[in-house]
Amino acid sequence: EDGYELWLRYRPVNDPALLKEYKKITSAVRILGNTPTDTAIRNEMLAALPTMLQTNIPVNTPAAPSLLIGTLDQINRQIDLPVIHNTNDEGFIISNATIKGRKVTIITGKTPIGVLYGTFQFIRMLQTNQSVTDLPVVSSPKVQLRLLNHWDNLTRYVERGYAGISIWNWHLLPAFLDPRYTDYARLNASVGINGVVLNNVNANADILTAPYLEKVAALAKVFRPYGIKVYLSARFSAPIEIGHLSTADPLNDSVKLWWKNKANEIYSQIPDFGGFLVKANSEGQPGPQAYGRNHADGANLLADAVAPHNGIVIWRAFVYDPEANDRFKQAYDEFKPLDGRFHSNVLVQVKNGPIDFQPREPFSPLFGAMPNTPLMLEVQLTQEYLGQASHLVYEAPLFKEVLDADTYAKGKNSQISKIIDGSLYDHKISGIAAVSNIGNEQNWTMHPFAAANWYAIGRLSWDHSLSSESIASSWIKQTFGNDKDIQTPILNMMMSSREAVVNYMTPLGLHHLMGNGHHYGPAPWSNNLPREDWNPVYYHRADKFGLGFNRTSTGTNALVQYQPAVQQQWADSNTCSDQYLLWFHHVSWSHRLSSGLNLWETLCKKYTDGVSAVKDMQQTWQSLKEKIDGERFERVAMLLAIQHTEAQWWRNACLLYFQTFSGQPFPSNFEKPDHTLEYYQQLKFRYAPGN
């Protein structure tokens, strides 16, 4: 198996009792609507049911239906008692009903898209061998905008992409519609993703020119039946670059008019265009500050242009300034004062942590600090800092850690999930964005397990109360099948993988230790980049005394950006949890941690634990050799071997380097590094994908 189907992998149901039940329910399927979405529903049912149930499935025959699929309006015209469960516009209901005294199963919702989501849920229940008798299942998404952000350039090079080149074939669009586009839409819709930003946040203004818009419109047309809207990253200086104006000043009338006209042009071709995503005044991207204006001025300019069309603007808060004394504080310092100044169709998109998608970060202090602005959470699926596409890292525990974090913004129980879903401050729009890990590799994500992250963020954006375990379990069944012997071992691998990567890369709150530019492998010694806040030494601050970044009141005082209850958790190096210790404290090498070991010994232990966890994953995987198809088995086995080698490399390189400061020996049972520090320092990676 080449892995192309991902979790929409339809295989025969083996359990005889369930097979009987499923066959009965699907013995006559009737789809009531005839929109393009209903065609998508029909196609999916016909792709799934005959293969899974090994029988012909009559769809829309004259026979009395056993499974009735349609919107609430359509359904309620057919059945004896109206369905009254409450859902929002995208929600669905799978339930039992009667038609003239005969029992039917129904899949319904307020809109065809809701019905499509219900259909995917129904299929998922079959794929994961759940009984469909335990009804009703009623579900609505908790978050409105559930988006993938592609960092795809128009050249098809994907920034931080490790799974091939972009799946958007700009050269052959709009006439050539790769069937992959439809499969992409199916995969997204099946987990509830309802929007995609097609191009990189480091944007090229050409995407907003007529020839590209025609291509974008063609993609939008493929995605539309699946409830997926397209969005574009807009380059702030586009009025200059493609509009030939002399300025992009957000308060200039010609600039305003240019964006208005541009929005009108886009909507004339893509009436349901989602809106713009903007990275401004960040890492060299143009922005309103060049004209003495602020982020709100910039965002509102674009927001006004798309507002007549119900479009939105997603403005990123990923900013940092070389002049600041701590990069950690920058987004908060710049954005908090602007709270309340963004127009109502603007969301501010905030990365989960204050720095940049590290294996573990404390949550960004912006969450809870901008009550008058809808904040969108940004997470990264592409594993820029998580071993890239060769490391098995199941990210749902990372996502959950953020969503469940309590900001105390409105007292206890002010979790980030409630800020993101709009409920804490009663916002009308809400969203989660995930930087895509998709490329044109046959299996989409290169590492078969990387697809679990795509899957997980969809499921969590729909319902952030789901557990990482339950999401992993469904994914395993849908991806590898229901064989009982494989469930627990694979689940264990996945559930241990996030802590493993934290341990072998950046334990105890270390962060940003990776190689320059390509971010591949360890380079904690690195100190030669033009900006101080790009260098690993800026972040770990190792010296003869100890290790870590003092962000308490005796240091940069970034801690003060959190609510007092949160500050309290982290302010004292004796009570701060090990996970965040070096994020906030410069701790002496002899400092005792909760384990009783000192900092140096604990560091050695954590790095070693990380490597052992990868070894365990390898062994577990080997034990499944007979149970997994050869192609996917071998692929994962090879990648795990790379991961193991690289985990050792991280451990050895980091510990040898930190030892030059700690001056302490390796513990007696410690497996000695196989090379010297100098060896690791001179390694070059000409083939590592860059940015």
Q: Is residue 159 close enough to count as binding ligand BDP by CB under 6 A?
A: yes
State the nearest-atom distance from the C-beta of 380 to ligand BDP, in Å: 7
CA distances to 99, 107, 129, 372 from 15, in Å: 29, 23, 8, 52
Residues 614-653 touching ligand BDP, rule: CB under 6 A, are: none
Nearer to ligand BDP, 214 or 532 (CB): 532
- Measured from the CB atom, is 71 or 285 closer to ligand BDP? 285
Q: Which is nearer to ligand BDP, 384 or 499 (CB)?
A: 384
DSSP SS3 for 380: strand
Q: Which residue is associated with the tokens 């100098």?
A: 678
Closest distance between ligand BDP and the C-beta of residue 198, in Å? 16
Among 181, 318, 589, 621, binds ligand BDP (CB under 6 A): 318
Residue closer to ligand BDP by CB (options 357, 539) is: 357
Q: Site residues for ligand BDP, window 365-394 (CB under 6 A)? A: 384
> Should residue 203 be labelled a site residue for ligand BDP when binding is judged by CB under 6 A?
no
CB of 529 to ligand BDP, least distance (A): 13
- The verdict on 236 binding ligand BDP (CB under 6 A) reads no
Peptide bond into 362 cis (omega under 30): no
3-state helix, strand, coil in the chain (%, to 5): 40, 10, 45
Q: How far is the CB of 476 from ligand BDP (least distance, A)?
A: 29
**CB 597 → ligand BDP: shortest distance, Å?**
33
Q: Pick from 536, 538, 545: which is nearest to 587 by CA?
A: 545
Beta carbons of 336 and 366 less than 8 angstroms apart: yes
Dig out the tokens for 111 from the structure. Answer: 């809109």
Q: DSSP states of 630-662 as a string?
A: HHHHHHHHHHHHHHHHHHHHHHHHHHHHHHHHH
Residues of span 319-358 touching ligand BDP by CB under 6 A: 356-357
Burial of residue 541 (number of CB atoms within 10 Å: 0-12, 13-18, 19+) = middle
Out of 262, 279, 498, 605, the residue judged to bind ligand BDP by CB under 6 A: 279
Q: Which of 169, 202, 252, 579 binds ligand BDP (CB under 6 A)?
A: 202
Name which position in 142, 160, 295, 464 contacts ligand BDP (CB under 6 A): 160
CA dihedral of residues 317, 322, 324, 330 (deg, nearest 10) = 10
Toward ligand BDP, which CB reaches closer, 280 or 409?
A: 280
Closer CB to ligand BDP, residue 555 or residue 689? 689
Residues for the chain: how many in total? 691
For the bound state, the minimum distance from the C-beta of residue 350 to ligand BDP, rounded and expressed in Å, comes to 11
CB 372 → ligand BDP: shortest distance, Å? Answer: 24
CA distance 636 to 627: 13
Residue 49, classed as helix, strand or coil, is helix
Residue 303 CB, shortest distance to ligand BDP, in Å, is 20
Q: Which residues contact 674 (CB under 8 A, 6 or more apart)?
A: 648, 652
CB 313 within 8 A of CB 346: yes
Residue 201 binds to ligand BDP (criterion: CB under 6 A): yes
- In this structure, the strands spanning 145-149 and 195-197 are parallel
Element (H or E) spanning 68, and its range?
Answer: strand 67-71
Please report which helix (H) or strand (E) contains residue 502, including its range.
Answer: helix 484-505
Q: Which residues contact 134 (CB under 8 A, 6 or more apart)?
A: none
258 binding ligand BDP? (CB under 6 A): no
Nearer to ligand BDP, 215 or 512 (CB): 512
CB 573 within 8 A of CB 581: yes
Amino acid 331 reads A
Give the residue with the Cβ less far from ligand BDP, 274 or 515. Answer: 515
Contacts of 484 (CB under 8 A, 6+ apart): none
Please say whether the dihedral angle defined by the alpha carbons of residues 460, 466, 472 and 474, taken in this order, is positive or negative: negative
On the CB side of 633, CA atoms within 13 Å amount to 13
Q: From the CB of 125, what's the least distance to ligand BDP, in Å?
A: 37
Catalytic residues: 283, 356, 384
Question: How remote is the C-alpha of 20 from its chain's centroid?
Answer: 38
Strand pairing category for 67-71 and 92-99 = unpaired
Closer by beta carbon to ligand BDP, 104 or else 379: 379
Q: Residues binding ligand BDP: what is the number (CB under 6 A)?
A: 11
**Which residues of the shown chain bind ligand BDP in the complex (CB under 6 A)?**
159-160, 201-202, 279, 283, 318, 356-357, 384, 691
